[in-house]
């Protein structure tokens, strides 16, 4: 049974919130670890509404410094103080966000927080691994927007296969050989019989991946990074009727998001960051689905499982 890899949508509107949609924010649950992606206004409310524990979020990724993607951050930090947080809180963002956040803390007289804010500056010129541990790799990559902006790729690490216990006993395999077998080796019995590796192991599930493409104009430069991604979120602020507006503001249409998903050979496409001019993003969704049928328009509270791209 695979551990969870799930995305919860907290905000799906563009710059202007509506009565139904909040500015951009998402929480990604990777194997029981929770990551906050962007932090627009109302993020705290949505975290509580979706019954996500504040204490389980130790890493926050801010794609760029337009307000609808980070105006909720200082309120989030303030709440962590009130909750008595002591663990480090890691923030991956433009280097200027540290200075701005410190100004807000000083202005509000917050004093010592009781925990460390650890800032990790993003690279807006080339892809960069920004988080790497035994279970997960997170890579930032440049997008095409009016100001420096990054997307994020979350990838599970490949797991070792499991040994078939009944085969251990049947072939009397010594403990010292288990690591070699997990690494792909065959096993030779005392009688010289070679037992193929595939008879000795249960293959591990293939790793899963999620890519978050925040505010961006259409750009194929991201394709090598997100190729074959299982679940792709790509902004789709406008319908094709507003294509010139999308170009002027360095945003994408639903059709353009779908073209990226198609060329990346993604498993599933999620579109969001809808302009407030659309009461419902029906036209954007239909245009996207005409190119990439496995497309969904996100709503607040939606939960999507990341499923391996077949």
Q: Specify whether 40 is located in the same domain as 122.
A: yes
Specify the DSSP element, H or E, that contains 151: strand 150-156
Q: Specify whether 96 is located in the same domain as 178.
A: no
Q: Specify whether 11 is located in the same domain as 107.
A: yes
Q: What domain count does the chain have?
A: 2
Q: Specify whether 140 is located in the same domain as 240.
A: yes
pLDDT score for 2: 63
CATH number at residue 83: 3.60.15.10
Where the chain has pLDDT below 50, the residues are none
Whether 310 maps to a domain, the answer reads no
Tokens describing residue 121: 């500056």
Whether 155 maps to a domain, the answer reads yes
Interval 258-287: pLDDT, tens: 999 999 999 999 999 999 999 999 999 999
Report the distance separating Cα 289 and Cα 303, nearest Å: 20
- Torsion angle of alpha carbons 19, 21, 25, 29, nearest 10°? 110
Interval 170-200: pLDDT, tens: 777 888 878 877 878 887 877 777 877 887 7
Q: Specify whether 184 is located in the same domain as 289.
A: no
Domain span holding position 177: 162-202
pLDDT score for 1: 52
pLDDT score for 295: 98
Q: Specify whether 151 is located in the same domain as 287.
A: yes
Residues forming the active site = 68
pTM as predicted: 0.89
Whether 80 maps to a domain, the answer reads yes
Interval 61-70: pLDDT, tens: 999 999 999 9
Report the distance separating Cα 79 and Cα 44, nearest Å: 9
pLDDT score for 169: 76
**Which among 202, 233, 258 is the end of a domain?**
202
Whether 20 maps to a domain, the answer reads yes
Closest of 170, 158, 275, 255 to residue 208, by C-alpha: 158
pLDDT score for 167: 77
pLDDT score for 102: 95
pLDDT score for 178: 80
Whether 190 maps to a domain, the answer reads yes
Closest of 101, 92, 90 to residue 128, by C-alpha: 92
């Amino acid at each position: 049974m695979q551990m969870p890899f799930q995305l919860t949508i907290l905000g799906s509107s563009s710059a202007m919130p509506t009565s139904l949609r909040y500015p951009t924010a998402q929480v990604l649950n990777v194997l029981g670890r929770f990551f906050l992606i962007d932090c627009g206004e109302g993020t705290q409310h949505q975290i509580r509404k979706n019954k996500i524990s504040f204490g389980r979020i130790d890493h926050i990724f801010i794609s760029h410094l337009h307000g609808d993607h980070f105006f909720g951050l200082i309120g989030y930090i303030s709440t962590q103080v009130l909750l008595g947080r002591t663990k480090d809180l890691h923030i991956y963002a433009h280097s200027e966000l540290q200075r701005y956040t410190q100004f807000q803390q000083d202005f509000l007289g917050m004093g010592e927080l009781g925990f460390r804010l650890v800032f990790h500056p993003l690279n807006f010129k080339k892809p960069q691994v920004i988080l790497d541990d035994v279970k997960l790799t997170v890579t930032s990559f440049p997008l095409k927007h009016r100001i420096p902006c990054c997307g994020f790729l979350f990838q599970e690490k490949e797991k070792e296969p499991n040994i078939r216990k009944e085969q251990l006993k049947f072939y009397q395999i010594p403990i010292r050989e288990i690591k070699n077998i997990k690494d792909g080796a065959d096993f030779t019995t005392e009688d010289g019989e070679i037992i193929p590796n595939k008879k000795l192991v249960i293959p591990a599930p293939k790793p899963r991946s999620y890519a978050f493409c925040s505010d961006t104009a259409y750009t194929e430069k991201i394709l090598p990074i997100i190729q074959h991604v299982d679940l792709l979120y790509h902004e789709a602020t406008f319908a094709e009727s507003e294509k010139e507006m999308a170009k002027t503001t360095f945003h994408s249409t639903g059709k353009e998001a779908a073209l990226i998903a198609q060329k990346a050979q993604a498993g599933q496409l999620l579109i969001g960051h809808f302009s407030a001019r659309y009461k419902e993003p029906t036209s954007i969704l239909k245009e996207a689905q005409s190119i990439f049928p496995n497309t969904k328009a996100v709503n607040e509270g939606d939960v999507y499982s990341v499923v391996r791209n077949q």
